[in-house]
Structure 1
Amino acid sequence: MKSAILAFGLAVGGPALALAQPVAIINARIETAGPQGSIASGTLVMDQGRIVAVGPTIGVPAGAKIIDAKGQVVTPGLIQASTSLGISEIEQVPETRDDGAGQKLGAAFNPAAGINPDAPTISLARLNGVTRAFLTPVAGRSGGGAHAHDDSAFATAGGHEEDDPTLFAGQAIGINLASDQTDLVFKTNAGMVLQFGESAAAAAGGSRGASLILLKQVLADTRHFAANRAAYDKGEGRGLMVSRLDLEALVPVVQGRSPLLVRVSSANDIRQVLKLAREEKLSIILEGAEEGWRVAAELAAAKVPVIIDSQAALPSSFETLGTHLDNARVLQAAGVSVAIMGSRDYNNLRQSRMNAGTAVAHGLPYQQALQAITLVPARIWGVDQETGSLEAGKAADVVIWSGDPLEGQSYPTAVFIAGVAQPMTSRSTELAARYKPASDTSPRPAYRN
Structure 2
Amino acid sequence: MSAASVWKTSLQGVIAALAVVAATTPAAAEPVAIVDARILSVGKAGDIPRGVVVFDRGRIVAVGANVPVPAGARVIDGRGRTVTPGFIASETGLGLTEINSVTQTDDTRSSSADLSAAFDVARGLNPASAAIPVARLGGVAHAVATPRYDDRNLNRQRPFAGQAAFISLDGGVDHIQPHIAMTLDLGESGAARMGGARGAEFDLLDAQFDEVKLYAENRAAYNRGALRRLTLSASDLEALVPVVRGEQLVLVNVSRASDIRQALIFAKARGLKIALTGAEEAWMVADDIAEAGVPVILNPTSNLPLSYETLGATVRNAALLHKAGVRIAFVGNDATHRVRELRYNAGIAVANGLPYQAALAAITLNPAQVLGLDGRLGSLDVGKQADIVLWSGDPLEPLSQAEVMFIGGVEQDLGTSRPMQLRDKYLTHQRQR
TM-score by length of 1: 0.88
| CA distance in 1 between partners of 2:153 and 2:250 (Å) | 19
Deviation at 1:206, TM superposition (A): 2.6
Match of 2:166 in 1: 174
Secondary structure of residue in 1 paired with 2:358:
helix
Match of 1:394 in 2: 384
Root mean square deviation of aligned Cα: 1.6
Deviation at 1:348, TM superposition (A): 1.0
Higher helix share: 2
Q: Is the 8 A contact 2:331 2:339 kept in 1?
A: no
How many residues are aligned here? 407
Deviation at 1:345, TM superposition (A): 4.3
Q: Could you list the per-position Cα deviations for residues 95-119 of structure 1 after superposition, in whole angstroms to 9, with x for gaps in the alignment?
A: 0100111234200000112111111
Match of 1:63 in 2: 72
Q: Could you list the per-position Cα deviations for residues 242-292 of structure 1 after superposition, in whole angstroms to 9, with x for gaps in the alignment?
A: 101001000001111111110000000001100101110111111011000
Residue in structure 2 matching 1:119, options 129, 138, 161 = 129
Secondary structure of residue in 1 paired with 2:339:
coil
Secondary structure of residue in 1 paired with 2:369:
helix
Residue in structure 1 matching 2:340, options 312, 337, 350 = 350
Structure 2 residue 417 is matched with structure 1 residue 430 = no
Match of 2:58 in 1: 49
Deviation at 1:438, TM superposition (A): 6.4
Q: Is the 8 A contact 2:134 2:340 kept in 1?
A: no
Q: Is the 8 A contact 2:31 2:55 kept in 1?
A: yes
| CA distance in 2 between partners of 1:184 and 1:380 (Å) | 22
Match of 1:321 in 2: 311
Structure 2 residue 153 is matched with structure 1 residue 133 = no
Q: Could you list the per-position Cα deviations for residues 323-362 of structure 1 after superposition, in whole angstroms to 9, with x for gaps in the alignment?
A: 1111001101111000011123421122211111111011
Match of 1:165 in 2: 157
| CA distance in 2 between partners of 1:17 and 1:108 (Å) | 33
Q: Is the 8 A contact 1:309 1:355 kept in 2?
A: yes
Q: Could you list the per-position Cα deviations for residues 210-248 of structure 1 after superposition, in whole angstroms to 9, with x for gaps in the alignment?
A: 111111111111101000111111212222121010010
Deviation at 1:17, TM superposition (A): 9.1
Task: Provide runs of 4+ in structure 1 moved above 3 Å.
Answer: 150-153
Q: Is the 8 A contact 1:402 1:411 kept in 2?
A: yes
Structure 1 vs Structure 2: percent identity of aligned residues?
47
Match of 1:99 in 2: 108
Q: Is the 8 A contact 1:82 1:135 kept in 2?
A: yes
Q: Could you list the per-position Cα deviations for residues 406-442 of structure 1 after superposition, in whole angstroms to 9, with x for gaps in the alignment?
A: 1111110011000010111201111222221468x44
Structure 2: gaps (5+ residues): 1-24
| Matched residue type, 1:178 | D
Aligned counterparts, 1:44-443, within 5 A? 44-104=53-113, 105-140=115-150, 150=151, 152=153, 163-179=155-171, 181=172, 183-425=173-415, 426-437=417-428, 441-442=431-432
| Matched residue type, 1:45 | V
| CA distance in 2 between partners of 1:270 and 1:197 (Å) | 9
Secondary structure of residue in 2 paired with 1:224:
helix
Match of 1:160 in 2: none
| Matched residue type, 2:157 | P
Match of 1:31 in 2: 40
| CA distance in 2 between partners of 1:184 and 1:122 (Å) | 15
Bigger shift: residues 286-295 or 229-238:
229-238
TM-score by length of 2: 0.91
